Structure 1
Amino acid sequence: MQTPLTTFDGYPRDDIDVAQIRTTRARIIPLVNDVKALMIEIEKALHAHHAEPTGTSTSADSSSTSAAPPTTAPQTETPVIEAVFAVVDQVSPSSPAEQAGVQVGDKVKRFGSVGALNHEKLAKVAAEVQQNENRIISVLVCRAIGDGEQDLELQLTPRRDWGGRGMLGCHLLPL
């Protein structure tokens, strides 16, 4: 990529196909720029991922039915733009999802360690639920409130023994 295409006195080199090299370089340069941009995005996402606290704490009384109230996502940190990857279209009564404050129409931005870039058609969400049975999972949802939307951080504890189908008691539709 850095080899000169001309001789020391400015004429095109006769030992290489200059036209072919120029067109090849013209195709490679945008690809290199794309890779650099993606690496910057990945670096930012890694920093954001490792900066957030882990939600894998266990408690002695994890099967209690009291629900933690939803809290507003902290705004003191540098905001990381998280895309919506699923929407809640059903919440069962008395389910872990209802107890955590999940509502129909909530747009899911983060589900534990799963986000828009790695949810794999919600397969990773299912795996996250299976791995964290009876443990708190932090869920970031975007909820329509009045004329606007607000991000809420909900604490959801998947359980099999809640009396209904599944471990969450809600249904997610991928976007």
Structure 2
Amino acid sequence: MDDNIHAPTVPSGPTTGRSATRDLSKLSLTDLREEKERIEAELSALSSVLSSHGVDMNTPLTTFDGFPRDDIDVAQIRTTRARIIHLRNDHKDVMKWIEQRLHEHFANLQQARGTSAAADTTTISATPQPGVTGVTATSEARTVETPFAKVNSVVAGSPADQAGLKAGDTIRSFGGVNWMNHESLTKVAEVVQQNEGRPVVVKVVRKNDSGRTAELTLALVPRRNWGGRGMLGCHLVPL
């Protein structure tokens, strides 16, 4: 009998098929982002496979006396877990190259701008909104903090509405979540669940009536029983 049947079997060699045949060091930032999104989509699908069995990455696959459980497909679960481990490693590699590409892009931008860099930083005045701590826009922030989600709708009187969030805003950070680690917005949901009743700093990009782009920092407090569905009262869609 396998003494460690609940542990996934991880074969040696290349991990993800596409990543194994692609040299990440030669990919553009756009290609790396596509690879990141592909990996995250597969991770989400594999997570659903585990959930369909009622298990996660750490659920024991043996009975109390050490025999394989007969109420689940142990072989499929082990294979799925192994694939998830591979993809997580691939995801780390992709994120490493994305970070490097961002640094390179920023360095090239700074070099091209030269002494005019300071002139490219703009402060945009706007009517204060509830929960808004500042309104600024800089090309550096746009380079490093690319928006990853769009606010599709906001319910009146909801926590999102009270924080000053508006339909059409794009999210560039939600607590510690950004476009590099949001994992198809699953990390946003985790932040919401972990911060009920506590303010979460949300940085958004908004176009004003004149067409100029403003960057706002909002304080959003997730809470239940505000009179509507969910803890935010808004609908986010990934970009």
Same fold (TM over 0.5): yes
Equivalent of residue 163 in structure 1, options 205, 227, 237: 227
Structure 1 residues 39 and 100, CA, compared in 2 at 3 Å: closer, same or farther? closer
**Alignment RMSD, CA only?**
2.6
Q: Which amino acid aligns with 2:207?
A: A
Aligned to 2:190: 127
Question: 2:201 matched to 1:138?
Answer: yes
Structure 1 residues 43 and 87, CA, compared in 2 at 3 Å: closer, same or farther? closer
Residue 161 of structure 1 and its aligned partner are, at CA, apart by: 1.9
**Residue-pair matches, total:** 121
Aligned to 2:211: 147
Find the aligned partners of 1:32 and 1:69 in 2 and give their Cα distance: 40
Equivalent of residue 68 in structure 1, options 105, 118, 131: 131
- TM-score scaled to structure 1, two decimals? 0.60
1:7-46 paired onto structure 2 within 5 Å = 38=97, 41=100
Aligned to 2:87: none
CA radius of gyration, larger in:
1
Q: Which amino acid aligns with 1:130?
A: Q
Find the aligned partners of 2:99 and 2:181 in 1 and give their Cα distance: 17
Residue 147 of structure 1 and its aligned partner are, at CA, apart by: 1.9
Q: Which has the higher helix share?
A: 2
- TM-score scaled to structure 2, two decimals? 0.45
Residue 81 of structure 1 and its aligned partner are, at CA, apart by: 1.9
Residue 68 of structure 1 and its aligned partner are, at CA, apart by: 2.4
**What SS does the aligned partner of 2:173 have?**
strand
Query: C-alpha deviations, 1:90-117, integer Å up to 9, x for none?
Result: 1001000000000000000000000001
Higher relative contact order (CA 8 A, sep 6+): 1
State the identity %: 43
Is the Cα contact below 8 Å between 1:159 and 1:168 reproduced in 2? yes
Equivalent of residue 96 in structure 1, options 159, 176, 180: 159
Residue 74 of structure 1 and its aligned partner are, at CA, apart by: 8.2
Is the Cα contact below 8 Å between 1:70 and 1:101 reproduced in 2? no
Give the unaligned 5+ runs of structure 2: 1-22, 28-92, 104-129
Question: 2:144 matched to 1:85?
Answer: no
Question: 2:236 matched to 1:172?
Answer: yes
